[in-house]
Amino acid sequence: MSNGQLHIGRGGEVGSLKNRKPLSSKNLLENLGMQSVRMKTVKENDKDRPVMLYLGKCCESHWEMSYVPYCRDGPGCASHPSIAFGDHGDDLYHPMMQCPVKCVVHHDPLMPIDAVLTGGYVSRDDYYNDISRKRRLNQGEEVTQKNRPIAASMCLEPYWRTRPRATNPREMKMVDMLLTTNLNADIWLSRFSLLRLETDSYDWNNGKMWMHWSEYITLPENQPPKWATFDSDYVISVVIGHCDGPNGYPFGYPNRLHYINALSDAGLPVYLTGHLRRCNSGNRNKQRFWASNKRELMRKYKFHLALENCDEKDWVTEKLYQTLMAGIVPVYVGCDNVNQFIPKNAFIRARDFSEPKKLADYLKYLAGNETAYNEYHAWRTNGPSSPEWKHMNWTFDRSTANGFCQVCQNIHAHREKKAQQGETSWGEYWTHAKNKLPAWTLDPQRGWVQEGKPVPIDLEVPAAV
């Protein structure tokens, strides 16, 4: 262990993106030590070969959150330029190749495939059929039950956006490995990412988006603003894209403006902006805020209202992480167990106040008391050995940026046990090893459930600090 972070080989640390750039034929040997870009000599049963991941469709930018600008065309996928794999059709690509295990992401159906990466709980048969068709054209072995890879699906959306598929056992039976924001998924992913705060153009040469969070917050533009520079008319900002969404959530889309208006009616000066699509927002300042200009907006005010679109268990999004990284104190409105992901002394949780007026009164008190306000920034200087930094590291290390690596690590950890089972395919092995039958389905407050019972969390979650 070093500086509170897990050390891994080939330089860098888990969660640290610094100096990681897309693989190409020019830097492949330096990053992986492989012999060939196309790797046609890789043998299916070679126990020492890398874990091989086949990149399927880019569903609502889910794998894009792993720092892939575009995914290949695939079943149900909108047509995008296939630029993710280099300008010359290189089969290997990904900036996250500095992984504790050998890990290759490719889009060549003729190469070995341990797992197919999909999004949105798409049926694995869609991909198996696509791969088999291309293999038939090249006299290759088609995908069968005896050789089928794991169908690994990343979905970074809440329950209400993924039903009815995520609640249908027949549909979910066709997904093997789940990468979601639920702690009891096969692989839990946080939405702690610098990508969307730093750039909206996906400029892969922007070194800031590859930084570790602890380095990022030391940049001058991300340190807490000077007290005298804060806006004197408004205390808190909030950015809202739209007001559509499900009913039944206390802080869901339809109730967003009600809550904001309640704070305003209690005497708290609120600066509201954003797209405000389908919002009955009156004469508000409508503007698209993204990347650096959103950060500039947040830094004008002492607080930013990080208002989630629903309050499902484990559902914590970039709204909270962006505010912390921009050097501002977040006021968080969302899931009840947020303290499992972020130190409680780094933000203000709206649920801790019985009514909007009490929260408004507290924020007005802090807005007039610099010493009390700065207590919410104290964690920033506590250093790597502090519980707060270790907690932040734990969440950042499991961000979507590390999604590929986590898939490879999970598969690699099971290689020996799978080998003991003879000719069992990876897909069949994973189904039984992870007890996927009956199929897991999604519940908004319990995460993944099996026959009505919550799936156990196979992850060491740190205690709230």
Strand blocks (E) in 63-189: 103-106, 115-119, 150-155, 177-180, 187-188
Residue 141 belongs to some domain of the structure: no
Output the pLDDT for position 46.
65
Those residues with Cβ within 8 angstroms of residue 54's Cβ, 6 or more apart along the chain or in another chain: 106, 107, 108, 109, 111, 113, 115, 116, 117, 127, 131, 149
> One digit per residue, pLDDT tens: the chain, 465 residues?
223 222 222 222 333 334 444 444 444 445 443 333 344 445 566 667 788 888 765 433 444 444 443 333 433 333 333 323 333 333 344 444 457 777 777 777 877 899 998 877 878 888 898 889 888 988 889 999 999 999 998 888 888 888 888 999 999 999 999 999 999 999 999 999 776 666 555 555 677 777 889 999 999 999 999 999 999 999 999 988 777 666 666 555 567 788 888 999 999 999 988 877 667 655 556 555 555 578 889 999 999 999 988 889 999 998 999 999 999 999 999 999 999 999 999 999 999 999 999 999 999 999 999 999 999 999 999 999 999 999 999 999 898 877 888 898 999 999 999 999 888 999 999 999 999 999 999 999 999 999 999 999 999 988 888
Q: Which amino acid is at 441?
A: T
CATH number, domain of 347, equals 3.40.50.11660
Q: In what order do the strands lie in the sheet with 115-119?
A: 103-106, 51-55, 115-119, 150-155, 177-180, 187-188
Cis peptide before 164 (omega within 30 of 0): yes
Residue 277 belongs to some domain of the structure: yes
Reading the block at residue 190, the tokens are: 């946080």
Residue 63 belongs to some domain of the structure: no
Output the pLDDT for position 280.
66
- In angstroms, how far apart are the furthest CA atoms of the chain? 74
DSSP output for 316-358: --HHHHHHHHTT-EEEEES-TTGGGTS-GGGSEEGGGSSSHHH
Quick check: pTM over 0.95? no
Output the pLDDT for position 155.
87
Q: How far is CA 163 from CA 42, 168, 171, 187, 243, in A?
A: 40, 8, 11, 20, 19
Each residue's pLDDT tens digit, 323-334: 999 999 999 999
Residue 230 belongs to some domain of the structure: no
Residue 346 belongs to some domain of the structure: yes
Structurally, the chain folds into a number of domains equal to 1
Reading the block at residue 185, the tokens are: 């998924």
Q: Which amino acid is at 131?
A: I
Domain interval for residue 357: 236-392
How far apart CA 269 and CA 291 sit, in angstroms, is 24
Output the pLDDT for position 95.
41
How far apart CA 66 and CA 390 sit, in angstroms, is 22
Residue 251 belongs to some domain of the structure: yes
Residue 64 belongs to some domain of the structure: no
Residue 435 belongs to some domain of the structure: no
